């Protein structure tokens, strides 16, 4: 599939939000959808640090014990998250919002992915997946732009890019350094694909101009890809961006991206994407989670999935929902998606 050659069968993938996962478990008695549906891919991750630094100096007054407050989660970057799930509709507390100087950034407790307990399991995990005939993905989304604005705040980061460039350069370079180390660790573990990504598109346009992307983020994304391929030459690289990211697809190809995800049909013309870039990219996604998966009737969904396979594939295409499935998606639609992919007949 990654070589854009006809596969023996089409792969399948889906992920569920917590409410839908709970409904799945109640309905099936199984714990893991990937195992229950015999899906073809698995993500592998670095382990979290054994102990987090004290990020309380970076929280606003009134939240000094955010790491211990019910409902809040604080990860290794110090970003506080509170909401209904770990996927969407969350409140984010940006720990760098009140910083203003490079010296303050230099004192910030950035994560260290190179500590052996964080990665020494990876090679064995990948090896075990391969023994089962599964495809292992080194998962590194929120690579640079997204973690930067989670740390800093969206408005503050764009202000930095325009008016406080030494601060922005230090922050983005420090993140890139960490991500390069992670990419090397995934490559050394033998993953089949490295998945990076930063959402660059809204429903109607990009978050930033293509020129701003090329100045600030393209070279850093290229560095992460280069770091992985220094360890594992030719490693396929998937780039994830929701939304309308059309303007930078040629840039992604130029820096070595080989797989584009999720190819959101609400924002991109799938036929145009295939015609323009199908000789250089594999497409991963294409089945709308804003439209088709929650709202189509099962029979219509079945036809839409097979139609999409015909547009984006069947070679060089991994047909799956464009994002995690939200609670509104009916069980019958999940089964219709899986059946449509399984029953697709190559002409």
- Tens of pLDDT, residue by residue over 22-34, are 999 999 999 999 9
Provide the pLDDT confidence category of residue 88 given band limits of 50, 70 and 90. low
pLDDT of 85 over the 60 cut:
no
pLDDT value of position 66: 63
- Cβ pair 152, 160 in contact under 8 A: yes
- Cβ pair 118, 49 in contact under 8 A: yes
- Cβ pair 136, 42 in contact under 8 A: yes
Q: Considering the entire predicted model, what is its pTM? A: 0.96
> Which neighbouring-strand residues pair with 260?
239, 283
**What angle separates helix 145-152 from helix 165-189, to the nearest 10 degrees?**
130
pLDDT of 86 over the 50 cut:
no
With the CA atoms of 203, 78, 257 and 206 taken in that order, what torsion angle do they form, in degrees rounded to the nearest 10? 20
> Which neighbouring-strand residues pair with 261?
240
Instruction: Convert the pLDDT of each residue in 297-339 to its tens digit.
Output: 999 999 999 999 999 999 999 999 999 999 999 999 999 999 9
What are the CA-CA distances from residue 318 to residues 92, 111, 248, 313 (Å)?
A: 32, 33, 21, 8
Q: How far apart are CA 105 and CA 65, in angstroms?
A: 21
Q: 């101009």: which residue's tokens?
A: 209
More confident residue, 175 or 54: 175
pLDDT value of position 68: 65
CATH class of 18-48+112-342: alpha beta
Comparing 57-66, 176-185, 277-286, 332-341, which segment has the lowest mean pLDDT?
57-66
Instruction: Convert the pLDDT of each residue in 41-81 to its tens digit.
Output: 999 999 999 999 989 889 876 555 666 667 778 889 999 88
- Cβ pair 204, 245 in contact under 8 A: no
Instruction: Convert the pLDDT of each residue in 193-250 to its tens digit.
Output: 999 999 999 999 999 999 999 999 999 999 999 999 999 999 999 999 999 999 999 9
pLDDT value of position 227: 98
pLDDT value of position 64: 55
Provide the pLDDT confidence category of residue 89 given band limits of 50, 70 and 90. low
The encoded tokens of residue 117 equal 């307990």
pLDDT value of position 65: 61
Q: What is the mean pLDDT of residues 122-144?
A: 97
- The angle subtended at Cα 181 by Cα 126 and Cα 322, nearest 5°, is 60
More confident residue, 286 or 2: 286
- Cβ pair 251, 284 in contact under 8 A: no
- Cβ pair 174, 105 in contact under 8 A: yes
Helices (H) then strands (E): counts for the chain: 15, 10
- Cβ pair 80, 74 in contact under 8 A: yes
The encoded tokens of residue 3 equal 């070589």
The domains of the chain are located at 18-48+112-342
């Amino acid at each position: 599939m990654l070589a854009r050659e006809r596969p023996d069968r089409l792969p399948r993938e889906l992920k569920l939000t917590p409410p839908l996962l709970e409904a799945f478990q109640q309905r099936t008695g199984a714990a893991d959808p990937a195992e229950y549906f015999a899906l073809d891919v698995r993500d592998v991750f670095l382990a979290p640090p054994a102990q987090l630094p004290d990020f309380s100096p970076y929280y606003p007054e009134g939240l000094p014990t955010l790491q211990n407050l019910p409902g809040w989660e604080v990860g290794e970057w110090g970003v506080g998250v509170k909401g209904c799930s770990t996927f969407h509709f969350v409140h984010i507390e940006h720990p760098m919002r009140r910083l203003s100087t490079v010296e303050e950034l230099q004192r910030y407790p950035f994560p260290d992915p190179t500590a052996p307990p964080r990665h020494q399991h990876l090679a064995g995990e990948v090896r075990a997946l391969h023994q089962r005939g599964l495809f292992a993905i080194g998962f590194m989304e929120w690579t640079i732009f997204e973690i930067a604005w989670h740390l800093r705040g969206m408005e503050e980061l764009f202000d930095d890019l325009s008016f406080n460039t030494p601060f922005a350069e230090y922050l983005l370079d420090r993140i890139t350094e960490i991500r390069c180390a992670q990419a090397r660790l995934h490559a050394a573990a033998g993953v089949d694909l490295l998945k990076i990504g930063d959402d660059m598109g809204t429903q109607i346009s990009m978050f930033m101009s293509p020129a701003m992307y090329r100045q600030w983020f393209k070279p850093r994304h290229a560095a992460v890809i280069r770091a992985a391929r220094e360890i594992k030459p030719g490693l396929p690289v998937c780039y994830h961006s929701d939304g309308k990211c059309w303007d930078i697809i040629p840039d992604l190809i130029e820096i070595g991206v080989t797989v584009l995800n999720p190819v959101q049909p609400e924002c991109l013309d799938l036929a145009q994407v295939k015609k323009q870039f199908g000789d250089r990219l594999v497409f991963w996604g294409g089945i709308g989670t804003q439209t088709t998966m929650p709202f189509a009737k099962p029979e219509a969904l079945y036809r839409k999935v097979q139609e999409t396979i015909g547009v984006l594939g069947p070679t060089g295409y991994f047909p799956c929902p464009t994002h995690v499935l939200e609670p509104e998606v009916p069980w019958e639609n999940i089964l219709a998606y899986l059946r449509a992919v399984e029953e697709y007949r190559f002409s």
